[in-house]
Chains A and B, each alone.
Chain A
Amino acid sequence: MASSNRTPKAGGGFGDKLKNMTDTNLLLTITIVVFFAMYIGAIVFQGKGFLKPQTFFNILNAQAALIITACGMSLVMITGSIDISVGGVVALVSMCCAVYLDFHNGNVFMAVIISLLIGLAFGAVQGFLVSYLEIQPFIVSLAGMFFARGMTTIVNTNPFNVQNEAFVALKETRVIVPGFGSVNKLGKYVNAYVELGVIVALLIVVLLFFVLRWTKLGRGFYAVGGNSQSALMLGINVKRTKFLAHLICGLLAGIGGFVYFMHVGSGSASHASGMEMNAIASSIIGGTMLTGGVGNIIGTFFGVLSLSTIQNIVSSAGLDDAWWTGITIAAMLCLFLVIQSVVMARKKRTLKGKG
């Protein structure tokens, strides 16, 4: 990296521009460019719903919880770990909140606290097992996933919709996005809106972005994931850093759980099934590497958007069977992995050639 600083600014070809970026920024650029290309492509070729801003905000509304859990996932992936229990935690949180609000006449504030506590508990236990007892994170969180799913069924077997008035009012709260809107079939102008969960998700994205970029702790995550030996030699408390990553991921799963609950308004053991896999996929599309040390929260945010945009494109293109979505996501993941590795390899080659 150091040698690249000396490259003269003038006359930079594609290779030089690549060189001036860090790995993280490079992958981020790819993600964002692909997302916009895809969305603009959808507007141009499919038109229909994509012309309306609300379609975009609907994606945000439906995926706010995934954005939050994917942020946590990226964080643990940056430290070179993984947490596949997040989907289970989301299901458990929504079921507990639903039961608490409806069967025990609870209030919404306490429900939020319960969500946070469940998330923190999962994060703390798994973080402890992974970082201090050095058990494989995949195995630990696999157990966590089964435990969370099982607990959800124990708390309540049957899916049901929450009737609690204060909660329903919160669920129905809509934030108008000024300046956006469209004319509907009846010729009436409708303002675009987002749900409260989207605000929470955006705040978390911004907060984590700052933490990762400009704090000592944030740089610690990258260092531990990049090479834990050298991180140790740099005087970073590797175990504590890993533990914190898992703790934050658990906490975000808790928050994500409540946001998910706020979106669907029901408790069910089958909620958020496969969410952990979508979170991993979004992180990878966003340029976070499973090997650790590379990643960006903004990328993850666009990863989630890309994932759900492709789903929308697939279904409005008339490829209606459920497996098409799966296949396109698989194709998209492959595409991203190939682009990423090609660009990285090219960059390394240009670096070597000039250095």
Chain B
Amino acid sequence: MYFKRVIATAIILMLGIWFAGCTDSAAHENENPDVEAASERITVGFSQLGAESDWRSENTESMKATFTEENGYTLIFEDGQQKQANQIRAIRMFIQQEVDYIVLAPVMETGWETVLQEAKDAGIPVIIVDRKVDVSDDSLFTCWIGSDFELEGKKAAEWLNRYATAKGIAPTDIHVVNIQGTKGSSPQIGRTKGLADAARANGWDLMAEVPGDFTQAKGKEVMESLLRQYADINVVYCENDNEAFGAIEAIEAAGKKVGSDITGGEIMVISFDGVNREAIRYTLEGKITCIAECNPLHGPRVKAMIEALETGGTPEKFSYVDEGIFSADQTVDVLNIDGTDYEVTILTEESMSGDDKNR
């Protein structure tokens, strides 16, 4: 029949090309110097976990702005849309495309062993950014760069502790709820631990821990239901800014006021990230009382690592980003955590315009 012949031809053609491809890639090995000279660009495959928050968008933007063709890179970007399966698919694609480096921002900590082993077998170094991977063999990835999420949590909690002490608020009068990030992700685990440990140590009333998936919509939804369940909430600990925006919306819709005067009936919002202007604006207005910074500008840092690897160096296995803590309230000026002092950046209108220039 007519169509059978068409299909048979197509299949034979494809198989032929595949087999030709096999021998071709073997031949490529020899002419490699030529090819290298023609395009000296380094190909980087970046599997981003999604686009759930402003932090994430800034992070993606930073990578795209760094690995440009002018800088001598070709970036293949893959959005995992919050699914590990998509990210694994993307990494396998990078391996088939023989990229020079794989950069992975993993959505979860577990479940990476197989695919990282495949990358290792293919001789492609993997750089992990932001969240960590939980693998039994550390040699499966080259290095990791990101934030110390537990330290961020500790900073925010310590800020609250200093503030309460300074204002003479009894620990038992602090009724705090935690709107958590995506369950099982490194920032959620670290920031939740920071608060939970502090609550236990200081004797705060930690009423609820509910996941808000790092999104504004979910943050609002969770806060609405928390407000219905607990009448006496006076501190909301949001594990990122987008959740804080949602929570503030819910609090204001319920006819309550956000602010730092928790003995006067206001609800204090503590948040993380501090990446966009809106978050800074909210802080200046006193809607968000305190933000522990989480810096998303990983592009240049990853580039430095790749440059080190290219010249035969070995970057440090785990590198943490230095981060600060912001507030418009002047009650607390310095925090001491585990013997190290962290200065609180007091935000004012002037510091904000200066801040903009930095970005």
Contacts and interface: CB of A to CB of B under 8 A. Distances in A.
Interface of A: 17, 20-21, 25, 28-29, 32-33, 36-37, 39-40, 43-44, 48-49, 51-55, 58, 62, 157-161, 172, 180-188, 190, 263-266, 270-271, 312, 315-316, 318, 320-322
B29 interface: yes
A43 B22 CA distance: 13
A181 B111 contact: no
A33 B7 contact: yes
B123 interface: yes
Contacts of A312: 93
Contact of A49 (B26, B82, B97, B114): B97
**Could you say which of A52, A181, A188, A271 has the most chain B C-beta atoms within 10 Å of its C-beta?**
A52
A190 B118 CA distance: 11
A315 B78 contact: yes
Q: How large is the interface on B (under 10, 10 to 19, 20 to 34, 35 or more residues)?
A: 35 or more
B11 A185 contact: no
Contact of B110 (A36, A160, A190): A160
A107 B321 CA distance: 44
Given A157-B211, A160-B184, A32 B98 contact: no
B51 interface: yes
A315 B110 CA distance: 25
A171 to B, nearest CB: 8
A184 B122 contact: yes
Given A51-B21, A181-B22, A265 B89 contact: no
A185 B3 contact: no
Tell me whether chain B's interface is mostly helix, strand or loop, or mixed.
Answer: helix
A321 B77 CA distance: 8
A11 to B, nearest CB: 14
Given A52-B25, A53-B22, A58-B92, 16 more contacts: A32-B3, A36-B13, A39-B14, A49-B97, A49-B98, A51-B21, A55-B96, A58-B89, A58-B93, A62-B85, A160-B110, A161-B110, A182-B25, A184-B98, A315-B78, A318-B77
A17 B21 CA distance: 35
A172 B11 CA distance: 29
A321 B184 contact: no
Contacts of A62: 85, 89, 92
11 contacts: A25-B3, A43-B14, A49-B97, A49-B98, A159-B184, A183-B22, A185-B123, A185-B124, A188-B121, A318-B76, A322-B81
A161 B123 contact: no
B79 A159 contact: no
A39 to B, nearest CB: 6
A29 B4 CA distance: 8
A329 B251 CA distance: 41
